[in-house]
């Protein structure tokens, strides 16, 4: 690890995340604790703590640090939750969630990305995350229900199986829109009803699968 990664992470949290209004101290600490440079290809390590997304191979990207913090904060995690992430990618978002929840399941459709993420998470000793390979647009019914679901790939609508896998009081965050441009939506499951909020504009790679975009 570069000797200065903790300083870079601290600066990233201060200047890109806290300065833009994310106040949840648990989220800020988690973002400061995960060595982001270990989740990007070697060629991009120097740029890992910068204010931008980065390529992670297979045409996919790791989100800008602020977006990771913003979406994480929207989940309002207390520490005792079971969380589902769709779109493991590098494993970085899953690592942040692992610091904030009890149990994390993350689903990736590309086996090589899943394998790499699994290795990184294990090397960091984050034993409360399980990486699954499959079509996350169907959710992960075998471990449902979840207290929080975070989708990190964009779909034309929230895949219908996902809200069905939310616990009472559960929150779901997902980018919804066309292939290039979306809005974040937060769905909250309250006494049998789903409350829907439409939030920031974002740009995520497409969710490919049965309840997302066609894969070919």
Closest CA to 114 of 136, 94, 143, 88: 88
**Interaction between residue 147 and ligand SAH (CB under 6 A):** no
DSSP 213: B
Whether 32 contacts 10, CB under 8 Å? yes
User: Is residue 31 a contact residue for ligand SAH (CB under 6 A)?
Assistant: no
- Given the complex with ligand SAH, which of 111 and 169 has the nearer CB atom? 111
Which range in 15-23, 75-83, 182-190, 203-211 contacts ligand SAH by CB under 6 A?
A: 203-211
Query: Of these, 72, 93, 165, 182, which contacts ligand SAH (CB under 6 A)?
Result: 93
What gap in Å lies between CA 193 and CA 208, rounded to an integer?
Answer: 27
202 in contact with ligand SAH (CB under 6 A):
no
Under the criterion CB under 6 A, does residue 140 sit at the interface with ligand SAH? no
Is 63 among the catalytic positions? yes
Q: Which is nearer to ligand SAH, 153 or 173 (CB)?
A: 153
Q: Quick one: tokens of 160?
A: 């219908």
Residue 66 contacts ligand SAH per CB under 6 A = no
Tell which positions 154-183 bind ligand SAH, by CB under 6 A.
Answer: none
Nearer Cβ to ligand SAH, position 5 or 213? 213
In whole angstroms, how close is the CB of 144 to ligand SAH at the nearest point?
Answer: 16
Q: Which helix (H) or strand (E) holds 5?
A: helix 5-12
How far out from the chain centre does Cα 47 lie?
20
Map the footprint of ligand SAH across residues 105-134, applying CB under 6 A. 107-110, 113
Phi–psi pair at 28, nearest 5 degrees: -65, -45
Buried b (16+ CB within 10 A) or exposed e, 89-122: bbbbbbbbbbbbbebbbbbbbbeebbebbbebbe
Interacting residues with ligand SAH (CB under 6 A): 56, 60-63, 86-87, 89-90, 92-93, 107-110, 113, 135-137, 152-153, 205, 207-209, 212
Active-site residues, by number, are 63
């Amino acid at each position: 690890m570069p000797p200065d990664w903790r300083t870079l992470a601290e600066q990233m949290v201060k200047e890109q995340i806290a300065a833009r209004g994310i106040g949840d101290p648990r989220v800020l600490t988690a973002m400061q604790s995960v060595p982001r440079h270990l989740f990007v290809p070697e060629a991009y390590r120097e740029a890992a703590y910068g204010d931008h997304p980065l390529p992670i191979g297979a045409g996919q990207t790791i989100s800008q640090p602020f977006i990771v913090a913003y979406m994480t904060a929207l989940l309002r995690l207390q520490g005792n939750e079971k969380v589902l992430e769709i779109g493991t990618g590098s494993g970085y978002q899953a690592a942040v969630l692992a610091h904030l929840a009890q149990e994390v399941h993350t689903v990736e459709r590309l086996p090589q990305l899943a394998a790499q993420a699994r290795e990184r998470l294990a090397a960091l000793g984050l034993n409360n995350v399980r990486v699954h390979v499959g079509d996350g647009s169907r959710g992960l019914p075998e471990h449902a229900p979840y207290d929080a679901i975070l989708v990190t790939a964009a779909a034309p609508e929230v895949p219908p199986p996902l809200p069905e896998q939310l616990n009472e009081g559960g929150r779901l965050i997902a980018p919804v829109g066309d292939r290039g441009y979306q809005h974040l939506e937060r769905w909250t499951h309250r006494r049998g009803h789903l409350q829907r909020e439409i939030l920031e504009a974002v740009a995520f790679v497409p969710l490919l699968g049965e309840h997302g975009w066609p894969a070919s």
